[in-house]
Structure 1
Amino acid sequence: MKLGWNLETGLERTLSSWKSVDDPTEGEYIVKMGLRGYPQIMNFKGPNLESRVGSWNGLSVVGYPGPVLATPQKFEINEKEVYYEFEVLARSVFIILALVPTVIGQNLFWTA
């Protein structure tokens, strides 16, 4: 998963909820990277900021340590991109990070 900005093209990678459990069109909740000040992950409901998850502390995002089984986590800031990402290395682990219409986020883990 990768959240953030390509500063050269203006592409923004976000995570958005479904409108309802039966309607996969974009819903109210959005998780995205805020660029004002030091970049941080923020949760929005419509245009309103609901919460700031936090900034990168060198190991993880403060306020959201990320999936324990997903490594490595990375936070990149350079002249081309600003982004946070994690990668699942174990083929026996599946992660679903979902924004459902009634909650900001859920992490679901399945290990074989």
Structure 2
Amino acid sequence: MKYPMILLLSILLNISCAQTQTPTSRPITSVSADELNNVVLLDVRTPEEYAEGHLDNSLNINWFDTDFAQQVEGIDKDETIYVYCKVGGRSAKAQQKLQSLGYKNVVNLEGGYDAYKQKK
């Protein structure tokens, strides 16, 4: 009886000490310009789409590039990364990939660049 109680207390202690995670997604229209200046802003659209317009200070790494994982290696894994695309599909996939590579704070900006343009 003693050992199960110790195990239970140990599990409860681990759960209560877990870090609060950054939200995993947010509408792009709810993000302030100041906030965008304080994160790594990753645009995962094609270079052609990026050239047609993008958020200021964003880094463009094409989700469709076969070496996407190698290209993101230059980003510190502890940085907060806001990732966006045209409408949200590619950025959601890129977010999952980044998390699988060990990036801790990756937020998908839902609605993508199209929603951001409409907001302006």
For the aligned pair, the TM-score class normalised by the smaller chain equals under 0.3
The TM-score with structure 2 as length reference comes to 0.26
**Higher Cα radius of gyration:** 2
> Relative contact order: is structure 1 or structure 2 higher (C-alpha 8 Å, sep ≥ 6)?
2
The TM-score with structure 1 as length reference comes to 0.27
Higher strand residue share: 1
